[in-house]
Amino acid sequence: MEVTKICCIGAGYVGGPTMAVIAQKCPHIQVTVVDLNEQRIKDWNDPDTNNIPIYEPGLSEIVAEARGRNLFFSTEVEKAIDEAQVIFISVNTPTKTYGKGKGMAADLKYIELCARQIAKVAKENKIVVEKSTLPVRTAEAIKSILDNTGNGVQFQILSNPEFLAEGTAVTDLLNPDRILIGGDTTPEGEAAINALVDVYANWVSKDKILTTNVWSSELSKLTANAFLAQRISSINAMSELCEKTGADVNEVAKAIGMDTRIGPKFLKASVGFGGSCFQKDILNLVYIAKSYGLNEVADYWEQVIIMNDHQKRRFSNKIVQTLYNTVADKKITFLGWAFKKDTNDTRESAAIYVADDLINEQAKISVYDPKVSRNKMLADLNYLESRSVEENNNAILAFDNPYDACKGSHAISILTEWDEFTAYDWQKIYDSMHKPAFLFDGRNILNAKELESIGFVYKGIGS
Ligand code: NAD
Ligand code: UGA
């Protein structure tokens, strides 16, 4: 079967960029991305592609090229489902906040809604692709919903997890390490797998397109995120030991990373990992293991989260301790609020938790982030429900330039590794601050020696 019409349900951080790249690389395929969120679709359709709702280097150019040609953003979910041969489900799968599995399991209500809507609308056979990250064996539930609607349509369910990282989404999508497609081993399942392989083969070489059974594919996604996050918690655990022993975690990371079996990537000690997925996916893995009675497996992976929470708290404690055990009424400047550089996404950003701790100590936080608005910062803090909206409002000041954000402050914390931070006039910043001027580099991106020679009391992670 040659695919000519694709629909993607969910115009978020995955659906938007993924479909934009498919549309760019496959001009013969009509790609429609739908979402219930009208504002989000309106923003994707903004005539100026610099205003699209997701900031990713290179994305606005791709949208500018493909949008209106073979890439469309719409709120007409049913129409798009009806017309497409292949439907990607790319909706959010957050941690459950209620009921059984609260705080651990993935909330699959949006996935189920999609399945029901597809079942209701479809009049012809369709391939349904799980693009969202899902618990292993979710395809079974989707299939059961699709097959029990009684209109005789045949569905093939494929698992095609997404491995892009935010901030590098476009390059990750253009040059993926691999594309993973899981499907049934029946002739119909294999035909569906081949149809999707052919879509990706428009720009990805076939030796990078891996096909497996559905369950391996679903579980590989959770496993990949668990392994990546585990490396960060491992190096962060070592960072604390380094601080006690005079070892330097950057040197340790370099030394172990040169072992080709370990490799150099994902060994950067930090204030803790953030982002919408690592924590959610590991909690989900822990929940799945527990539900099979595999308590040792569950405890093993849960430790990655425990270590990450500890690292965030350790960072805010260090600020308080270093500032003579009180930050009450002191101005502390945050450089960076996003969970990593080159994204406007703040979900689960370490900055939120560090700010929350410091506001509990009655500090005043002034923030500069090149891509995050004050409203977003406040929304993130309000979501924690630690205090009233008004109190958060009074505790957070946002600036649109770093020099104003740092003026008159007692300490600066680097929470995001934005490249521009390394290019600032640090002497000028130092001169404008209270003395002694402290700098807590939660990302180890600045040059300690240079800053100390200016006069800063510099504290990196793990040294
Ligand atoms: P997101 O919240 O940015 O986007 C999801 C979108 O789906 C939202 O705009 C929401 O309005 C829409 N939606 C929800 N239910 C809908 C429905 N019934 N009909 C139409 N639209 C609906 O989420 P995201 O970051 O794009 O993540 C989506 C999935 O991809 C998650 O499972 C996540 O774990 C996974 N994932 C995310 C990333 C990432 O970098 N963000 C990377 C790989 C995988
Ligand atoms: C991560 C994975 O890298 C993607 O492969 C996956 O598709 C995605 O999750 C997902 O499933 O959502 P993402 O969270 O966007 O991508 O970004 P990462 O680059 O993995 O960074 C996650 C967090 O870890 C960030 O806060 C980052 O600053 C931190 N990090 C990363 C470190 O502290 N140290 C490192 O060495 C690397």
Decide: residue 392, CB within 10 A, 0-12 exposed, 13-18 middle, 19+ buried.
Answer: buried
Q: Which of 278, 312, 346, 445 maximizes ligand 2 atoms within 8 Å of its Cβ, making it the mutation to test the pocket?
A: 278
The overall average pLDDT reported for the chain is: 97
β 5-9/30-34 pair status: parallel
**Which secondary-structure segment (H or E) carries 125?**
none
CA distance linking residue 185 with residue 330, whole number of Å: 63
Q: Catalytic residue at 221?
A: yes
pLDDT tens across 363-421, in order?
A: 999 999 999 999 999 999 999 999 999 999 999 999 999 999 999 999 999 999 999 99
pLDDT tens across 413-458, in order?
A: 999 999 999 999 999 999 999 999 999 999 999 999 999 999 999 9
pLDDT above 70 as % of the chain: 100
Q: How far apart are the first and last CA of the chain?
A: 58
Give the pLDDT confidence score for residue 1 in this predicted structure. Answer: 85
Among 369, 323, 365, residue whose Cα is nearest residue 345: 369
Mean pLDDT of 270-278: 98
CA distance linking residue 73 with residue 75, whole number of Å: 7
Is ligand 2 within 6 A of the CB of residue 268? yes
β 126-130/364-368 pair status: unpaired
Q: Please tell me whether residue 127 adopts helix, strand or coil conformation.
A: strand
Give the pLDDT confidence score for residue 72 in this predicted structure. Answer: 98
List 7, 242, 277, 406, catalytic entry: 277
CA distance linking residue 266 with residue 148, whole number of Å: 44
Residue nearest to atom 2 of ligand 1 (CA): 92
Mean pLDDT of 12-40: 98
Is ligand 2 within 6 A of the CB of residue 273? yes
AA identity, residue 333: T
Q: Catalytic residue at 162?
A: yes
Distance, CA 153 to ligand 1 centroid (Å)?
A: 26
Cis peptide upstream of residue 436 (ω within 30 degrees of 0): yes
Mean pLDDT of 153-173: 97
The residue assigned the tokens 């969120």 is 37
- In the sheet with 331-335, reading across from the earlier edge strand, the strands are 396-398, 364-368, 331-335, 411-414, 438-441, 457-460
Give the pLDDT confidence score for residue 78 in this predicted structure. Answer: 97
Among 389, 398, 326, residue whose Cα is nearest residue 362: 326
Neighbours of 419 (CB within 10 A): 10
Q: Which of 262, 273, 314 maximizes ligand 2 atoms within 8 Å of its Cβ, making it the mutation to test the pocket?
A: 273
Distance, CA 384 to ligand 2 centroid (Å)?
A: 22
Distance, CA 406 to ligand 1 centroid (Å)?
A: 35
pLDDT tens across 333-372, in order?
A: 999 999 999 999 999 999 999 999 999 999 999 999 999 9
Backbone angles phi, psi at 340, to 5 degrees: -160, 175
Is ligand 2 within 6 A of the CB of residue 363? no
Distance, CA 229 to ligand 2 centroid (Å)?
A: 7
Is ligand 2 within 6 A of the CB of residue 339? yes
CA distance linking residue 186 with residue 16, whole number of Å: 31
Residue nearest to atom 20 of ligand 1 (CA): 35
Q: Which of 91, 117, 225, 342 maximizes ligand 1 atoms within 8 Å of its Cβ, making it the mutation to test the pocket?
A: 91
Is ligand 2 within 6 A of the CB of residue 162? yes
CA distance linking residue 363 with residue 238, whole number of Å: 29
**169 CA: nearest ligand 2 atom:** 15
Q: Residue 191 has which token pair?
A: 């035909």
| Ligand minimally distant from the alpha carbon of residue 14 | 1
List 56, 162, 218, 348, catalytic entry: 162
Give the pLDDT confidence score for residue 149 in this predicted structure. Answer: 75
CA distance linking residue 49 with residue 266, whole number of Å: 32
Mean pLDDT of 264-287: 98
The residue assigned the tokens 């989000």 is 40
**Which secondary-structure segment (H or E) carries 283?**
helix 278-291
Q: Please tell me whether residue 129 adopts helix, strand or coil conformation.
A: strand
Tell me the angle at which helices 15-25 and 59-66 cross, rounded to the nearest 10 degrees: 50
The residue assigned the tokens 């001027």 is 437
Give the pLDDT confidence score for residue 46 in this predicted structure. Answer: 98
Mean pLDDT of 107-113: 96
Mean pLDDT of 297-310: 98
Beta strand spans in 298-390 (E): 331-335, 364-368
Q: Catalytic residue at 277?
A: yes
**163 CA: nearest ligand 2 atom:** 7
Decide: residue 261, CB within 10 A, 0-12 exposed, 13-18 middle, 19+ buried.
Answer: exposed
Neighbours of 264 (CB within 10 A): 13
Using the predicted structure, report yes or no on whether residue 150 has a pLDDT greater than 70. Answer: no
Decide: residue 245, CB within 10 A, 0-12 exposed, 13-18 middle, 19+ buried.
Answer: exposed
Read off the pLDDT band of 148 (50, 70, 90): confident
Q: Residue 420 has which token pair?
A: 């521009």
